[in-house]
Amino acid sequence: MASAFEYAPAPESRSIVDIAPSYGLFIDGEFTDAADGKVFKTVSPSTEEVLSEVAQAGSEDVDRAVKAARKAFEKWSALPGSERAKYLFRIARIIQERSRELAVLETLDNGKPIKETRDADLPLVAAHFFYYAGWADKLEHAGFGADPRPLGVAGQVIPWNFPLLMLAWKIAPALATGNTVVLKPAETTPLSALFFADICRQAGLPKGVVNILPGYGGTGAALVAHQDVNKVAFTGSTAVGKEIARTVAGSRKKLTLELGGKGANIVFDDAPLDQAVEGIVNGIFFNQGQVCCAGSRLLVQESIQDELLDSLKRRLSTLRLGDPLDKNTDIGAINSEEQLSRITTLVEQGEAEGAERWSPACEIPSSGYWFAPTLFTNVTQAHRIARDEIFGPVLSVLTFRTPDEAVAKANNTPYGLSAGIWTEKGSRILAVANKLRAGVVWSNTFNKFDPTSPFGGYKESGFGREGGRHGLEAYLDV
C-alpha cells in the first residue's frame, strides 16, 4: 500500500555531536584503558557503521573502579545534602543544555527515532536528575526515619533500550542519597554513558563518585559479584536478573531488579476507539517495542474486535519506518543483530504455532537491523508469542468477553510490570486496576513516565521501585 502522504526527508543534523574514534573506561575521574587492553566496537544499528571503539572493562578494572568509588564514598556521603543537591542540579542543567547533542548521539548508538530521544528520553533524563537533586537535602522528610544513611558503593548494570534514561534512573537517586556508583552500560550502547562522564567533569563532580565501565555481561557479572559493592541495581532480562539474585544470595548486598514484562493492554467495548488505537500503537511500537513495560498483549473485548483491528491496521499502515535521524520516523532500527534474530525466531514460532501474522506494506532499508511492525491474531494463551517477552515491534491480539476474563488473562503471566485499561467507565478502571498484578497500570493512556512516579514490577518482573519517593528506598539503609 502506498503511503498516505509523501514526506521529503527531514534528517536531524548529526554534526551537533562529536564522537571520538575511541573511548576509555571512566574511573576515578579519568578516562583510562582497560588493564588487559581489550576494546570493542559500537555500531549504529541503522547503518552498521562503526561509531567508536570502546575500552572493555575486565575484573581488574572493576576492582579499581569499586576502590575509587569506595574512596570517594567517605567524603561524598559526609557532604551536607544541600551540597550534593547542588551537584545534581548542575548535572540536570548541563543535560538540558546539551540535550540535542545527547539526543542525536543516543539515536545514532541505539537506533531509536530522534523524535523519541528528543521528546521523551532526554527531557525525562534531565527531569529525573532535577527531581532527585531536590531529595538530597530532604531525606528526613521521605518517610525513612530521621537520618537515613546511604548504603555505600552501588554496582549498577543497565540495558540498551533507554541507555541514558536508565543511567539517570540509577545514578540520580544513588547520588542524592549519598552513595557512589560504578555503572556498566550495555555493550551495544556505551556512548551516552561516556558522554555523561564528561557532564560529571563539567559539573565539577568529585572524582570517583561516578565510574563508568563499558563491557559485556562478564563485566556486569564481575561488578555484581565484587565483595566491596553494597548495593546492586539491575535493569534487563528476567533470566539475568535471576542469575544476579543467585550471585548476591547470602551477602549483605541490597538488590533491586527491573526485569521483563508481557504487559496486557485491555480494551473494553465502551473505550474511545481512536484514542485506544493510538494507545495500542504507542504501547507496543514506542522504541520498536524494545520496552520492558510494552503493551505486547492486546486484550480486546470480543464484540469490538473487528472494528478495532480494522482501525488498528489502518493506523499501522501510516507508520513510517526508516532513518532514525529523520524527524518524521516512527519506527527506527532494532538495536542489534542479536536482538533482531531473537525477534525473528519468536515470530516464526508464532506462525508455526498457528497464529495469523500481519504487517503493513513496509520498505525495509538495505543495511542495518530492521523489523516491520507486526500483529498476530488467532493467538491463544498457550502460544509462545503470548507468553514470552519478544522485545520487538510485535503485538499479540487475544480476546475476552467479561471483565473477569480480561483480568484472569492479563494476570496469566509470570511477569507483572505494566498493564493498560481502556474504558470510559471510571469505576471499571479502578476495579480492574485493583485486580491486576502489575506495578504500573495506565488507564486511557500508555507508556507515561515521570520522575515523581514509582516504576517497577510484580512477580518475575523484578522488585524495588525506581522514581518517586519510593525510589529512594533502594539506596538507603532502611
Partner 1 sequence: MSEKTEKTERFDRLSVFKTYKLYVGGKFPRSESGRVYEVTDSKGNWLANVPLSSRKDARDAVVAARKAFGGWSGATAYNRGQILYRIAEMLEGRREQFVREVADSEGLSPAKAKSNTAKAAAVVDAAIDRWVWYAGWTDKIAQVVGGGNPVAGPYFNLSSPEPTGVVAVLAPQESSFLGLVSVIAPVIATGNTAVVVASEKSPLPALSLGEVLATSDLPGGVVNVLSGRTAEIATPLAAHQDVNAIDLAGADDVLAKELEIAAADNLKRVLRPQPVDEVDWSTTPGTDRMTAFLETKTVWHPTGSLGASGSAY
Point out the residues that are catalytic.
258, 292
CB of 185 to partner 1, least distance (A): 27
Q: Which 3 state secondary structure label does DSSP give 245?
A: helix
DSSP string, 145-162: -SSPPB-SEEEEE--SSS
CB nearer to partner 1: give 146 or 361: 146
Contact flag: residue 430 with partner 1 (CB under 8 A) = yes
Supply angle C-alpha 50, 11, 319, rounded to 5.
Answer: 100
Binding part of the chain for partner 1, among 3-11, 325-333, 354-362, 400-408 by CB under 8 A, reads 400-408
With contacts defined by CB under 8 A, name the span among 8-16, 65-73, 134-142, 333-341 that binds partner 1. Answer: 134-142
Please choose, from the candidates 359, 335, 345, 450, the residue with its C-alpha nearest in 3D space to the C-alpha of residue 390: 345
Part of the chain binding partner 1 (CB under 8 A), chosen from 2-10, 98-106, 372-380, 435-443: 435-443
Which part of the chain contacts partner 1 (CB under 8 A), choosing from 13-21, 131-139, 181-189, 198-206?
A: 131-139
Interacting stretch for partner 1, rule CB under 8 A, among 58-66, 126-134, 187-195, 242-250?
A: 126-134
**Looking only at residues 62 through 121 of this chain, which bind partner 1 when binding is defined by CB under 8 A?**
82, 85-86, 89
Q: How far is the CB of 82 from partner 1 (least distance, A)?
A: 6
Measured from the CB of residue 272, what is the shortest distance to partner 1 in angstroms? 19
For position 387 contacting partner 1 by CB under 8 A, the verdict is: no
Unique residue bearing C-alpha cell 570502546: 54
Out of 70, 437, 445, 449, which residue is the one contacting partner 1 (CB under 8 A)?
Answer: 437
Residue 403 in grid coordinates: 471483565
Q: Which residue type does 251 have?
A: S
- Establish if 352 lies at the interface with partner 1 (CB under 8 A): no
391 lines the binding site for partner 1 (CB under 8 A): no
Closer to partner 1 by Cβ: residue 172 or 334: 172
* Nearer CB in complex with partner 1: 347/432: 432
Q: Does 246 bind partner 1 (CB under 8 A)?
A: no
Measured CA to CA, the distance from residue 94 to residue 116 in angstroms comes to 20
Single out the residue of 441, 473, 451, 442 nearest to residue 169, CA to CA: 451
One residue of 29, 134, 206, 272 binding partner 1 per CB under 8 A: 134
Q: How far apart are CA 386 and CA 295, in angstroms?
A: 11
Contact 56, 39 (CB under 8 A): yes
Applying CB under 8 A, among 70, 469, 477, 478 the residue interacting with partner 1 is 469
**CB environment 455-470: b (16+ within 10 A), e (fewer):** bbbbbbbbbbbbbbeb
CA angle 398, 265, 107 (to 5 degrees): 115
* Residues 45/333, Cβ–Cβ less than 8 Å: yes
Nearer to partner 1, 124 or 229 (CB): 124
Task: Kindly give the residue spans of alpha helices, DSSP state H, lying in 226-336.
Answer: 238-248, 273-285, 305-316
Supply the minimum distance, in Å, between the C-beta of residue 139 and partner 1: 11
Closer residue to partner 1 in complex, CB, 314/425: 425
25 strand-pairing partners: 32
**In the bound complex, what is the minimum distance in angstroms from residue 438's beta carbon to partner 1?**
11
CB of 376 to partner 1, least distance (A): 24
- Is residue 174 close enough to count as binding partner 1 by CB under 8 A? no
- Residue 41's φ and ψ, nearest 5 degrees, are -100, 145
Contacts with partner 1 by CB under 8 A: the residue count is: 37
Cα angle, residue 292 at apex, residues 308 and 58 outer, rounded to 5°:
155
Stretch that binds partner 1, among 139-147, 227-235, 248-256, 284-292 (CB under 8 A): 139-147
Alpha-carbon gap, residue 456 to 467, rounded angstroms: 9
The C-alpha angle 414, 418, 419, rounded to 5 degrees, equals 100
Query: Residue 202 interacts with partner 1 (CB under 8 A)?
Result: no
Q: How far is the CB of 359 from partner 1 (least distance, A)?
A: 32
* Among the listed residues 114, 267, 407, 474, the single contact to partner 1 using CB under 8 A: 407
Q: How far apart are CA 271 and CA 252, in angstroms?
A: 48
Q: Residue 300 forms beta bridges with which residues? A: 267, 399
What angle do the packed helices 81-97 and 191-202 form, to 10 degrees? 120
Question: Residue numbers of the site for partner 1 (CB under 8 A)?
Answer: 82, 85-86, 89, 127, 130-131, 133-138, 141-143, 403-404, 407-408, 411-412, 425-428, 430-432, 434-437, 451-452, 468-469
